Structure 1
Amino acid sequence: MGISLLPVSPPGAPTGGAAHFSLASSARVLGTLHLGPGAVIAQGAVIRSHGGSVRLGAGAAVLENATVTGASEHPVIVGERAVLGHRCVVLGAEVGALSEVGSGAILMPFARVGARCLVGEGTVIPSGMVVPDESVVEGRPGQLLRRATADDLERLRRLRGGNLSLPGQPLTAFSARDRAEDAPMGQLYTYRDKHPLVHPTATLFSTAEVSGDVVIGPGCIIGPGVKIVGDSEGPVRIGAGVQVLSNTVLHLPQDSSGLVLEDGVIIGPGCMVHGCHVGAGTLVEPGAILCDGSRLGRGCIVSAGSLVKPLSSFPDGARVEGFPAVQTGTLTTPPPPPRWALRPEDLAGLRRVG
């Protein structure tokens, strides 16, 4: 598993919103974000900051299609000149100054990555894990490999214009939301003769895209950057009260018989869900991959970053984790909605379809 070091300020990043930081037009910020001068929020990035709980230091970067979610009980703090890589997910975690979080990495609530650390691509930092300053960590779950070497720090220095100094700039509050007046609520596309059907009480964020033979049930929430692709012979059926969160992809391959999410399923940010069947009340944590023909029973939990292999099957109440995933336990009660899921009050100001 390699480590990709990325520049703090991607060239050509559009500027908008407030002065002195870069906000791409396709990025989405919900709530009040606190950030320093020179911060970058790149294309497709999604930041949810409940009660001002997300803080980005001066020169910090949230790169393309990354998801950052903070809450009062587990805020997100990203230090100065730190980089969150492409498609990474940070939920209520802390990242120290000058650290590099690789593409596709997942940081769970209460995790802490120290300053000048290197987090490998696809690494999962579980809840509560503490990574000391100047460490290299990789794996699912993350393992401390070694201390950062002089060569590692020199690479960081080169990527930051020849110095590792910190600006020490104060943060400024910035508020935005996914405004319905800026775009239609979700983008719906016909594929051949099939057009998506969306219940009037469902909510689609403006950057969500749905195509083909897809039915979305009552009370569903389809988050920013979600892609639901129903361009196969089988249907995509999403039950009542389902949440599909930021930058997740639901895809139905040509030879698949269908993709079904039963009532009350929650699919976390950054997931890949192919033609499978997910039972009612199941929770799929961030960055998980559900492959073709797999089946999950009712009230399961799939741990962050897990890979559910093709044609695999798990019973009701299974705790599923690993890469590839295996059953590691059995739940006695259905999993409650996690704090990083959306709540009705988070949707204030969003127009509903219909």
Structure 2
Amino acid sequence: MALEQYLAAKPEDIGVDSEKLKAVFARAKRDVDDGTLKSAQVAVARRGRLAGVRTFGTVQHEGRGEEVPATNDTLYAIFSCTKAIVGAATWALCEEGLLDIGERVAEIIPEFGTNGKEGITAEQVMLHIAGFPYAPFSPLDWDDRERRLQRFASWRLNWEPGTRFEYHATSAHWVLAEIIERRTGMDFRRYVRERILEPAGVDELYLGLPAELNGRVADVRHLAPPTPPPGGWGEVTPEAILAFNRPEVRAVGVPGGGGIGGAAQLALFYQALVNGGEGPSGKRILKPETIEWATQVRTREYHRVPILDYPVNRALTVVVAGDDGNMHLRGFGRTCSPRAFGHGGAGGQIGWCDPETGISVGYCTEGFLDEIQQGRRITAISSLAAQCAL
């Protein structure tokens, strides 16, 4: 994708304030200038076009250890920002009459219906209230469908489905990937690309990275001593994060966290969702009513984030900002509308849009820091981006 074709001549042409956009870029650049991060990439979009994209700092590629300048063509592991993209593909299934979220998963995937999982619905899986957040799944089994089905059969519940929320870092979206394949007869990666990404005009956002593109991907690195994952993120270990530097792992396209792309691609993906389903390419990926339906909060007040204890506010595979004073904890900063929705990623990747203003934002970095620094950065950049509309 040539970013230039989607770049506005000037931000004001698409109703974005140039000075406020500069503040977004300055905040992203600050972390690189002061040595907090090695690189950062950020983009803001509106009305189907990019107001601007900037990349700062240096990256390493393919384990070589050599520092090279990061550019707007640099690709990053977007981790759980991937969930919204695969989620949009499941919305498309629903729009086409191929899936009802009330269906029991075991009726679609018989192998799944064991060990108390018989009654779990597709909706519960999409909301992370299905009860199997720590279901084991070795990376060696990821791209072997027979082993995938064997794993589904062996999984046991951690708690009764529907009774609580706990983040299913990868397990839930492997189930969604299998549902896509059962209902379409297509490899889930191909379906996501052909049904969502290409029509949306973001063909350089990859679920399953082609081998020849590894030289453009920034190697993930820990810039502070890695700490154990917080409650509900048990699979997101330091070792699991670094595994995404391996070409064979990037090639799998892990549906819950293996996407590869950039800040501009994330911002443009969300433009398709915030503009009634019409992507920057002019093609429609979803009906407006499908997006409206899919982004309504479905979790209950008692579905709360472990440890921090605030309502999770989840729609179908995405998070909604909400009006309860906790939007900054959900990754949206403090200034967007309650209707804003999206999904962040490990390490502080940002991807969301706001239906009230039409603003969308993407942010990527390859550097992992502690949760406090990461949270402050997300809040600052999201807050600044949300205020860019004229």
Task: Give the TM-score of the pair, scaled to structure 1.
Answer: 0.25
- Tell me which protein shows more helix as a share of its residues: 2
Task: Give the TM-score of the pair, scaled to structure 2.
Answer: 0.23
- Tell me which protein shows more strand as a share of its residues: 1
Higher relative contact order (Cα pairs below 8 Å, separated by 6+ residues): 2
